[in-house]
Each structure stands twice: as C-alpha cells, then as structure tokens.
Structure 1
Amino acid sequence: LSFLAALCSAGMAVYILSRAPRAFVHQIFAGSLMVLAVEAGLTGMAFHEITYTEVTPWQRYLLYPYGLAPGIWLLFSLSFGRANYREFLRRWKWAAAGVFALPLFPLLLFPEEIFLGAPITDESSRVFLSLGWPGYFFYLCCLVGAVLVLMNLEKTLRYSVGHNRWQVKFLILGAASIFGARIYTGSQVVLFSFLEVEVQVVNVGAILIGLILIARSLGRAKLLHFDFYPSHSVLYNSLTVLLVGIYFIAVGVVARAFFYLKGGLEPVVTTFLVFAAILGLAVFFLSDKLRLQRKRFITRHFRRPRYDYPRVWAQFTARTASVSTLGTLCNHVVNMVSETLEALSVTLWVWEEQEETLSLGGSTALSPGKDGPLRIGGKGTRNLMQTVCQETQTIDLGESADGWKEELKRLLTGPSGETKVDLCVPLCAAGQLVGILAVGSRVGQESYPFEDRELLKTIGDQAAANLQTLRLGEKLQQAREMEAFQAMSAFFIHDLKNLASRLSLVTQNLPVHFDNPEFRTDALKTISQSLDRINGMCSRLSLLSQKLEIRPRAMDLNELARRALAPL
C-alpha cells in the first residue's frame, strides 16, 4: 500500500509539472506531491524493517519528509487559486520559514533524543515508540503546520464560486483528507507522548484517498490557474480552527472517559470515529447539489419562496454600495449571482461602444488574458447589441435559440464553446447598453424557473445603473485630470518661455560683448541658472509617473523661502 501511494504520488507530480512547467503553482504542487511520495516510500521501508528491540534508521529517515510536508504544502495553499499570491507569500514569509525550520530543528540538533529507549509492545503486539522532548516538539510543530495549510485551503474554497468552485472543490478536499489524517495521528502523539507505529498506515491511506480526489479535480481543470482574492484575515471565522478545537476537546473527553471507565472501545478507535464523523460532515455539507435540494424541499413542502428577497437585496446593496472601480463591481455581481442561483458559470461583459466589442468585466469561469481583458465581437456587433438592448426581459439562449439569439449565443460562448450560456440579461441604463450578464447552467443541469429569471432581471437592472454611474464617474475623473494637466502645463510653458527669453538675450549679445569679461561671467551665470531651473522642472515632472506620498516634517520656513528666492 505504501509503495503504491508513493508511485501514484510521483506519477501525479510528473503529470502536474508537464502541464505547465513554468507556472509557480504547478512547480510547488509537484514538489508537494514528491515529498508525499518520498514519505510513503519510507513508510513502506520502515514497516519492512520493523523490530521490537530498537528504533530502525528508517523510522528516523521518515521524519524528514514528514516534517517538510507542512512547509511546502503551506506555500502551495498560499499560491493556489490566488491572483495576488506574491502578496500572500510576502506577508506569510516568516510564518512559512517557521513551518519549514522548526520541525527540522530537533531532527538536526537532537536526532538521538527524538525517540527514547527501545520500542514498547503491548499484549496485542502493537509497537509504540516513546518520544523525548525533541520528538514531542517536532510533532507539535507539524500539527500546527497542518492546521495552517487547511486554514488557507479553506479560505480559497470559501472565496471560490460557480464553475471555479466546481473545479477546485475535490482538490481541496483531497488535501484536507491528507492533512486531516495528519492532525489525527499527530494529535495522538501530542496527547499521549507515544507514537504507535501501525497508526502511520493511516497517513498512507489518506494519501491514496487524497490522490483520488485530486485526480478527479484535475479531470475537471487541466491547469491550476484560478484568480481568487481572499482576505488577509485568516483566523477570523475559520472553520478549520473550529473543527480542530472540537476534535481536540472530543479526544480529551474520550481519553478521560476511557481512563475512568476502562472499558468499551479503545481510545484510538473512538477518536478515529470522532474524526471520521467530523470530516464526513464537512464533506457532506460542501455538496452544491445538497444545498440546491434543500432549497427546493423547503419551497415545495413549507410553501416558502425560493429566495429571501429582502436578504438577497440587502447583501447586493452591501457588496456594491462602496465599490469604486468597475472591475470590483463586476466581480461582486457575478459572484453574488453564482451563489444565489447556484450557477456554475456567470460572466459579465462590458460594452465598449467606440470599439464595438465586449470586454470581460468579471467571471466565475473565465480569467483575463495576459495582454489585458478578454474581448469578443468587433465590427458589425453594434446592430446585434441594439437588438439586445430593446429586450425588456431575461433572454433564454437554450437549445431552441434561433435568429439573432443564435448569433448572440455564438458570440458569448466563443469559437470553442468553452462557456455554456443558458440565460442572458441585457444591462441597460438610460436607454444605453452598458453590458451583458451571461449565466450558464446550474448545479445538476436544472432549468431556471420564473422566480430565478425575475430575480436575475432585477439584479441586472441595478447592476446596470451602478455600472453606468461608475463609468460616468471615470469619465468625470479623466476630465478633471486633463483639466489639471492643462493648468500644470500652462505653468511649465510659462517658465520655459521665461528661460527661453533669457537664453535668447544671451545669445543675441554674445557676438557683441564676448570680449567683455563681466559679460562672460554674467552669461555663464545665466546659463547655469537656466540649466538648474530646467533640471528642477524635469525632476518635478518625473514625480508625476510615481505614486505621490505625502511625508510631513518640521522645517524652517525662512530657510525654505531663502532657497526658493536664491536663483532669482
């Protein structure tokens, strides 16, 4: 079993690296899987060489990949699915360095004190290794590292929506099963200060289960390129911390109850059942189909509306009220529509009237191109957009679409048909088209009833008004910037004209008074001052290309006035 896990993990690492060898997240993920492959292989060797008289070298070798795994997986969890992963890596650099270095500290400095004495066997021939304080510290650091990995992966899952969530869900669940098992085995060591050798098989089994889940996720997404923007607050509202806390409390209660009752199931078995139940509930409640079936059941049997409309509208208002950029507004709109309607793919296209194209504003399935926003359409698209703007209801682009609807469907799905579009909402404000909201199929391939279409139309109308307001605000800001630039240009041109006049007088009088020493002295002084003024103007102009940052400090105003008047 161990060698099978090692072979599968190494094979998947090679496959991941071959898909995009230069992508940072692929390199880190391949390295993470290779560490698991080495750990699984050493686990198999340790079981083949197990003795009842001494700790084998394989048991010590196994600790090195086990200690490296949390660090490299933490780097993967910080970079996977995050468009701003460099910022996260910079903020977490000291924590990541600690997760890498602290487990290796006892292994390198106190290798002989990790395990104390010879192995211990009980009446059922189970082998236990007693830990010294370096070993206890090692497993405690690995346990903390595993929790940090799960916290970051949980944050990525919570910020994914729609089609992207459908693609990454099983990869995150696979990693959660691997490190959930490590939390289980590590907690046994931390609580009882003994390492049961047979329990290490749990980690190998978790690796196999995790690889199966990861393989299913890779079947849905060939590349690991996703753009989420999670918050930097990691501990706030973290389900991982809650589950780990409940788990440790349950382990302590079970161990104490077994100590007093001395009967029933063994504490290791009972603890494993508690862990399996918590993990099973987490996997169960992550099902999108379950959430959709629950809504349908409540609507059908309790005669409740499909949506809590006041709450939906309050959430939409709260998300979009303080938005100041077009891209942020588009992302909020598509994420909310995807979460509310359980749609896998939601895309908002912004209409560029001058270029006659639709540019990608936000999407749960598409990502911006390397050369800028993705654009579709071109010359001849204006007539189609005028027809779309005349529609007052949600446009159905199902299988029976024909005429201009078929043309619109081909435009929105693209030449390769990579995004399926079932519904389309024209975003019109003040009689002008500002964008198109395209909604793909929902979870379970279910159709959209009348309530969904009406809610989608209402959200689209409000989104159109917000888009139009932001675009008008951007145009006003550009006009103000141009006005400020013109005013500033007038001052610079005035200064340049004065300098040009001074230099012109010097050049006109130079042939006549060149032999006069006083004239040459004044001419050199005038040229030098003019050059200083030009250099000062260039340095001030260069500041316009940089971000202005005000740094107030105390200074003598008289000295400032003297320096300003010195060139005059």
Structure 2
Amino acid sequence: MEGAALVASASHGIGAVAFAAFSLLLLLGRRVQGQHRLLLTACALTATWSAATALHDYFVLGVAVAQVARVLETFRTAAWLVFLMLLLQPSGLPAKRLLAVVALLSMTQLATGELAPVTIVLGYNASQPADPALIATIASSLLLAVVGILLVEQLYRCTPTRERWGIKFACLAFGTLFAYDFYLYSDALLFRRVEPHLWAGRGVVDALCVPLLAITAARNPGWKLELFISRKMMLRSAGLLACAVYLMAMAAGGWYLRSVGGAWGPVMQLICLCGAGLILAGVLFSGAARARLRVFISKHFYQGHFDYRNEWCRFTQVLSEVGPSPGERAIQAVAALVESPAGALWIRRNGAFEPAASWNVPAQLATETTGSAFCRLLEGRQWIVVAGHLLRHAEAPYPAWLHGIPGLWLVVPLMLHGQLFGFIALTGPRTPVALNWEVFDVLRLAGSQAASCLAHGELAERLSVARQFESFNRMTTFVVHDLKNLLSQHSLLLANAQRHKDNPAFQKDMLATLEHSVQKMTAMLHRLSRGDHAAERSPHALADVLRRAISGYATAQPCPTLDITDLTLFALVDGQRLERTVAHLLQNAMEATPPDGHITVSLRRLDESAVIEVRDTGAGMSEAFMRERLFRPFETTKPAGMGIGVYESREYIRELGGRFDVDSRPGFGSTFRIVLPLELAAEKVPAMA
C-alpha cells in the first residue's frame, strides 16, 4: 500500500504545482476581474485540494485532514461548475437560481462527506456491509460530475461556430475533469469501493488540463462569450438528467429488493425494473409531462417566457406546412404558444363571423354578427379574452354559443389592417400557464400573423374561382367569335345563292361549305361540353389542314388560292384549332380585300420549320396600328368585329413553340406569316391529295 500511496501523493502533488503555477500566471499577467476572478478562485481551490490530498496520501495525517481535503474537493467542483454557469450566463440564464442548485448539491455532498471522507472509502469493499453514508458520498460526487458534463456540452453546443476556436480547448479541459470524476465515482458506486489506481491517476489527469485552460485564457482575454442556451437543448438535457436520476434510483431500489427479498428478491428486482421502464416510457411520451417541463424550465431558468426565435420559426413552419386546412394549422400554431390542446376558428365572411375550422373540438355551427358587442370589444380593444372574466363587462356580454366549446379558456382576436378578421377560441392548457403581459403580447402578434396567412388563403381561393370564371368567359368569347365567322360565311353564301342558285357547280360548293360548317359547329359543341379550350396535339399534315380551312371560302369573292410547295410537312398541332386560326386570317383578308383583289395561302419549308403565309392585296395596316392595337384583345376597326381573332391566333402559335409575324403597308395589302416546328418522325408520310 505504501507504493500506491506514494504514487497517489506524487500525482496530486503534480496537479497542485500545475494549478498553482496557472493561478500565479493569472494573478500576475492581468488585472483580475469578472470571469478571471472566478477562474483564479477555481484554480486556487483545485491547487489547495490537490496539495492537501497529496499530503494526506503520503503522510496519512488522519481523519481531520481527510475531512479538510473532502471539503476542498467539494468547493473545487462547485467553483468549476459556477465558472461554467458564468460563461453561460449572458444567454439570459438567471445566475442566482443556478447557484442555488449548485449550492444544494454541494451542501448535500458536504453533509455526506462529514460521515464518510473519500480517503476512508478507499478501504471500503464489497465484503463489508453496505454503509448508506458511503453510498451517498459516492452518489453525490457522481451527480456533480454529471452536471458538469452537461454544462460543458451546453457550453460547446451553444457557442456560435465562428467562436468555438476560442472555447474548444476549455471544453476539452473541463470535459476531461468531469469525465474522469464520473468514471472514478461510477466505478466506485458499481464495485462499492474507490479503485486506488484510478484515485492515484487523478492528479496527473487534472494537471494535463492546465495547458488547455492556459491556451483558452490567452484566446479569450475577457472570457466574455456571446452565447445562447437553446431551450430545446435545455429541455433535452433536463430530461436526460431526470431519466438518469430516475434509473439510478430504480436500480438502487431493485438492488435493495434483491438484497432483502430472499427467494423473491430476484423476481421482485426484475418486476421493479420492468415497471420502472414502463413508467418512464409513459412519461416520455406524455405531452402533458413535456409541457410541464417546458413551463418549469422557462419559469425557473429563463428571464423571458418565450424563446422568440425558436417559437417564431416553429409558428411559421406550422402555418406553411402541407397537411390540414389552413384554418386548422392556424389554430395549432397559436395553441402551441400556450400549451392548449384544442380550439376553433371563426373568420369574417358575408357580414358575419362564420366557423371556419376546428381542432380536437366538435365542429361549431353558430355565427356571430360583425356588429355585436363581443366583436366590437375584440376589435376596439384587441383584448385576449379569458373565459369567465368577460362577464364583468356589461357592454359586451359573453356569447352563449361559445359555451359549446368544452373547457373554453381564451379567445384570441385575429387583427388585419386594424380590423377584426376573425378569432380563435382555445381550450385550457395541458399544464398551468401564467397569463401575463408577455403572453398576451405574443398572442396578439401571433394572431395578426395568422390573420395575414388566412387572408392570403382566402384571397387565393377567391382568385382561383375568378380564374375559373375567366377561363369559361374566355372560352365563350372564342366560341362566339367562331360563330361570327360561320355567320359571315353563311351570309356570303346566301348573298351569292340569289345569283347562282341554278348553277350546279355553285350548288356543289354550297353543300361542301354547309358540311364544313356543320363539322366546325359539332367540334365547337364538343369542346364546350368538355369545359376546356384546347385539345390534344398529334401529327397533322399541314397541307390537309390548309385545304380544309380554304374550302369554306370556295364561293367567296375574291376566291383564295392555295400554293403548296411541299406535301410532306407535318406538325404537332390540334388540327381543328390550327384550321380555325387560318380561317380567322382568311376571314380578315376577305373583309379587307375588294372583289377584284387576290388572296393567296401558301405552304413551304424553311430549314427545320414549316411556313404558312396568308397574303392579300387589301387595304393594309399602318405601323402604329400593328404596334399598338393589332394584338390587343377586343380592339377592332370593324363595326361587327370582336377584336380577338388575331390575338387568339398569335397566342396559339406561341403555345406550339412557333412564331407569328405580320408585314403590312397601307394600300399594298398584308401578309400574315406562321412559322411552326416540323414533326420529323412523320415527314415521310405523304399528305392526302
């Protein structure tokens, strides 16, 4: 044992010299203030404790010196914990409450240490009867080490990435200190004795941390780190610590049952551990338990009730995610701020506030008029109405239909541009929540944000309906335009019938024109019944499309002529709609050209495109008219025109990926040119003659 005592004494002596030297550097190198003062205190206590332990291990000076060493160890551990908390304190963590926690743990360790100093524990082994004082001493030391590890983890995780350069070596040093203590005392708790070799190496391990602390002190002259402790991480750390303490208590209880239970001992231990696991799982999956823990942490460890950044990120994410209706998402987002599990939403519609959504409550049916005293109170004062408190205001009686919501707690107004857009009724929270000015302000702001999102959704829905009507009206306009063209053809046919009714050739052309008109009207009715304006595209021979388009004007004056230089040109189009587009251009040319003029429809190839031209020798158009009015819908110079034929033609050609050009001069006629991409796979199929 003398050799082990010598090693332990030398090890702790090295630790004492290292921390004493570092303390001297801190004392002489700069003015001691702020974090440096506490750092110097912690280093001095560590050096003193190491020296006292080294002396006792070598000289075995008795129980009194062992008690002093134990007290110094407690103060040394508490000083490092307080120093870590001081580094974390700028994030808003109240120092007084944290210090109270550390003080409580330290007093517990001191109380147990008076009964069983660590140096006495060195002689304790499993063959001796269990001593509660010794077990309490080891358990309290282990718990302080766990708290230190959690604080180191928080310090590193909550430091911004760009500032970890200045803190990483300190985290490594602190982590080594507390991790070694955790290993030492967990081994002691497991085997009911402190391992002499682990105890002997403790001083050297502590001394190895001094260079890391020195580097960190040099990188951080003021030890002033702008940190932020995440409430989420605090919640998880607190939950982890609570689970660890709970499992340790259950393990101790199981060990006790096994020791005193006789034959039933192992069975009772197994039942105890399984029951403890089930209870722990139930608590971990309990929303109410998590809500109580969140409220407890916010109330006792933070100055502000809300972590505004995380709350606002969560609030925005809930409003924008895909899932339930926008109204239900708005209820969930607002309810989560005050731990409410259910609610209902009313929105202003048609002169009244109508139920729009519900979450975990029965669907509401009653409405509230916009001019009621209750709505005037919400809009005029923007109050968060607490259930039962509104009855004191005689000018705004509590609406009777709101009693239909079980457990009604709050009514949150949704304000938009200074007016009441709606309101949300929330049920009681999972855990008691203190209603103060901060909670009310956050609810008002969240209500305004939710109102903006809901108003956007309402506007989008109205716009969708308006677009459906617009699409229907546009389709109707094009149908009317097609009917006008057919009417013009029939009027021309009827006018020529008076002069050529006995001509067999005219009769044949008249029948062909009527047949063509019937086909066009049948296709028009088919599209109208389907409710769409466009048909599926397929390869069509452009020569056949032009022949069908020009056949309706066989009896017209002047009669259009067809000039096709390539019969193998195919394009991916809706044949009927392209035919109607060419017919629009022919009708315009017919109306602008005198009977002795000329109208020519031609088809030719240009590289990988097909070019369709409709040329006339009519009145032509000015450059200003083509630039400002030609392609504008409902702009026309014709007494009976609608002004959408050329506009529709250009838009359809653009849909096909083509180009629509116009050349015109007043008095010299016009040329409308359509350029379409060819469908190469169908080029070898000849068009019908």
TM-score range, shorter chain: 0.3 to 0.5
Q: TM-score, normalised by structure 1?
A: 0.42
TM score, norm. by length of structure 2: 0.35
Greater Cα radius of gyration, structure 1 or 2: 2
